[in-house]
Structure 1
Amino acid sequence: MADVWPKELRVSPDRKVLTISFDNGEAYALPAEMLRVLSPSAEVQGHSPEQRVTVPGKIDVTILKVEPIGNYAVRITFDDMHDTGLFSWTYLHQLGLEKESRWRGYLDELAEKGLRRER
């Protein structure tokens, strides 16, 4: 995947969607819930695929803050106070490109484990 550079990041007024526009003309609206449950943090991803956690109960999560980390990423603070994932431009672009398949995979994992999106 070629390097992409963000032109604009915008949090919706209800704080439930982060829209990111890239210099290649692509733009993606990423729901806060998806960003939270697919956070690149060790808390969610673990240190190996076997340690990855399926995070339930985040349907109402919102974005409190988005802050730049150097020139390569942002830290997103959610209203459940999760803020340990650094979302690189490449990861955000990948989430946009793979939004449907990643979301379907998450919903399938919830169902397999008997978990719910609601609290």
Structure 2
Amino acid sequence: MSDTPRPVDIKIRKQSRLMRLEYTDGKVHELPFELLRVYSPSAEVRGHGNGPGKLQTGKRDVLVTGAAMVGNYALKLTFSDGHDSGLFSWDYLRELGERQSEFWQDYLERLEREGGRRDDAQVLKFQP
């Protein structure tokens, strides 16, 4: 069993696109929906082996459309793009909160390196 405290209050704030987690030890983390989506603990995002997994692009405007408790250890989030296969353990949510800046910077650098975009894919214009 993990020593990571479980959040005592979770709020999904669609207008500001944040999930707010409040803990008994006084910590509060506000995680952007985009960060949650691009760091989903699903096999689709992380891959099925070692390595960086699949780069998630076009997720700037993604929403969390649902959240369900899974036992006493995790939260299952559903996103507006249909993604719903990752289970966010309390440990992982706490890590995302504690290391949010680092995760965000890594994501932006990877987008730059691999030519990805935070916005939806560009619409290709056909030249006659």
SS in 2 for 1:6: coil
Match of 1:17 in 2: 18
How many corresponding residue pairs?
119
Match of 1:34 in 2: 35
Per-residue deviation, 1:49: 2.7
Asked if 1 retains the 8 angstrom alpha-carbon contact of 2:30 and 2:97, the reply is: yes
Mean CA deviation greater in 76-85 or 18-27: 18-27
Asked if 2 retains the 8 angstrom alpha-carbon contact of 1:15 and 1:63, the reply is: no
Distance change in 2, residues 1:116/1:13 (3 Å):
closer
Match of 1:95 in 2: 96
SS in 2 for 1:106: helix
Per-residue deviation, 1:16: 1.3
Report the AA paired with residue 28 of structure 1: H
Distance change in 2, residues 1:109/1:51 (3 Å):
closer
Match of 1:75 in 2: 76
Q: Which has the higher helix share?
A: 1
Q: Which runs of 4+ in 1 moved over 3 A?
A: none
Per-residue deviation, 1:47: 2.0
Give me the CA root mean square deviation: 1.4
> Which has the greater radius of gyration?
2
Asked if 2 retains the 8 angstrom alpha-carbon contact of 1:37 and 1:58, the reply is: yes
Structure 2 gap segments, 5+ residues each: 121-128
Tell me the TM-score normalised to structure 2 length. 0.88
